[in-house]
Structure 1
Amino acid sequence: MKSAKYLLAFIIIIKIDTSLSRVKVAVYYETMCPHSINFVRNKFHPYYKVLKDYIQVEWIPYGRSNHTRVNGKWQIQCKNGKDECKSNKFQVCALEEGRSQDKNVDFITCVLSLGYPGHTRGIEDCADRNSFDWAAIMECFENGRGDELMAKMGQKTRRLAPRLKQVPTIVYNDTFDGRLCDLALNDFVKTTCSMIIGQKPSIC
């Protein structure tokens, strides 16, 4: 009986340690940027399923945008125009729902795989396909909450040191390293595998 208790405790400890050892991967991107689209669609998403138990993914759809507060309201100007701002805001409102990492990844990939990622109907379809609450997303989009979330994305982007110069930018474990970013953009799997401590997925 005692040995069974010890075995259970051991299993729980191992599970906790594995969870804590996940590599954090932050993707700073612009929805309408061809380089961002290419990275998510062709270098990140095809390998996500084999890496997902080893990484914690954060999405920051802001890039080289600007935000200023005018008469108590946030004004957002995006590098690739108003439709990019619209799509970015829909995305942060969806992420605010707190769905699983898998759902968030599939939703973001779906949006960036649209023929035109700024098309509202297409974004709604991506939300529906991945079980997001479109009514809640629209409420967030229209009531000012989406602008607040975008401003937070901007603040996070501006805190990068050195400052963001290219899109997409990949940051591991909350510490920006330009060399690692360049390596990740070239070979995301190999670079991410190098960051995983201990047992690695088969693709490594």
Structure 2
Amino acid sequence: MAFYTCNRYRIVIFVLLVLIIFQLIRLLSDKPVAILSGSDLLKLEDDAYNKHKKDKVKVRVYYEALCPDSKYFFVKHLGPVTEKLSDFLDITLIPYGKAQTKEEDGKYYFHCQHGEEECFGNKVHACAIELIGNMTEYVQFTDCLFSVFEVEAALKKCSNKFNVDKDQILRCANSEHASELLKKYGDDTHIIEPGFIPTILINGSKDNQGGILKNFLLEVCKRIDMPLPPPCL
């Protein structure tokens, strides 16, 4: 009798399991499948709907054209991170550093930490930034300029590499317009009073310079909303 009762319970449980599975299958089959329309796909690519692209991490880099520490930051940190996370960054370059500006008879003159060649280099950088316009491209171009110490040789190499008009940059660098650009960058730099070059502001703050200079990628990733992009994982 006990054997019969046990089998009966097994049959009941089996029937209940079959009924549950059947109900689950029916519910799943009735659930509408989400299909992205053309407009939905466009929204995924549109900056207006992309929170990451709307809320980009704002980075301001205060540096000098012939500064070894500036070169190290560009080559080891800023260049690689910009390449990986350009969609998440809004970068502004300020080539001035610890220079000083003097005005005489309506003209600007500069004294730079690493000599006259650096003043000329800062002007070349300023003119290149203005000419190129695109953030990712001018970061890459400036990164390239640091690969050769002599300013005009660096400009020649990088202009060929990135198909940029070298002569236009040189004309600008030797003009009063370059001095005006450098004066503007100097005013910007004096506002933050950098104690060290390079100084990097992230979202308007110059806190934790040691951490930024040591691991720029980590500091940027800390400020990107979830879900994090692959380079941050």
1:176 aligns with 2:205: yes
- CA deviations 1:18-72 (Å, max 9, x no partner) are 3221101111111211111111111222333211111111111111100111111
The one-letter code matched in structure 2 to 1:157 is: T
Cα distance between partner residues in 1 of 2:230 and 2:86: 12
Q: Which residue of 2 aligns with 1:7?
A: 40
Counterpart selection for 1:105 from 139, 158, 177: 139
Q: Which residue of 2 aligns with 1:131?
A: 163
Cα distance between partner residues in 2 of 1:86 and 1:183: 31
- CA deviations 1:57-89 (Å, max 9, x no partner) are 111111110011111110011101011111110
The one-letter code matched in structure 2 to 1:91 is: H
Q: How many residues align?
A: 195
RMSD (Å) for aligned C-alpha atoms: 1.9
Secondary structure of the 1:185 match is: helix
My pick for the range that moved more, 29-38 or 96-105, is: 96-105
Question: Could you say which structure has the higher helix fraction?
Answer: 2
Change (3 A) 1:73 1:194: same
| Displacement after TM superposition at 1:111 (Å) | 0.8
Query: Is the 2:59–2:202 contact (alpha carbons within 8 Å) kept by the matching residues of 1?
Result: yes
Question: Which of the pair has more CA radius of gyration?
Answer: 2
- CA deviations 1:78-125 (Å, max 9, x no partner) are 1010111111101100111143222211110111111x1x33132122
Q: Which residue of 1 aligns with 2:216?
A: 188
Cα distance between partner residues in 2 of 1:102 and 1:9: 23
Query: Is the 1:67–1:154 contact (alpha carbons within 8 Å) kept by the matching residues of 2?
Result: yes
Q: For structure 1, which runs of at least 5 residues remain unmatched after alignment? A: none
Cα distance between partner residues in 2 of 1:28 and 1:65: 11
Query: Is the 1:87–1:123 contact (alpha carbons within 8 Å) kept by the matching residues of 2?
Result: no
Structure 1 length as normaliser, TM-score?
Answer: 0.87
Counterpart selection for 1:158 from 182, 185, 190: 190
Cα distance between partner residues in 1 of 2:110 and 2:40: 54
The one-letter code matched in structure 2 to 1:7 is: D
1:43 aligns with 2:77: yes
Q: For structure 2, which runs of at least 5 residues remain unmatched after alignment? A: 1-35
Cα distance between partner residues in 1 of 2:43 and 2:119: 48
User: What is the percentage of aligned positions where both structures have the same residue?
Assistant: 27
Secondary structure of the 1:197 match is: coil
Structure 2 length as normaliser, TM-score?
Answer: 0.77
The one-letter code matched in structure 1 to 2:206 is: D
Change (3 A) 1:164 1:127: same
After the TM superposition, which residues 37-76 of structure 1 pair with which residues of structure 2 at under 5 Å, given as runs?
37-76=71-110
Query: Is the 1:30–1:63 contact (alpha carbons within 8 Å) kept by the matching residues of 2?
Result: yes
Q: Which residue of 1 aligns with 2:174?
A: 142
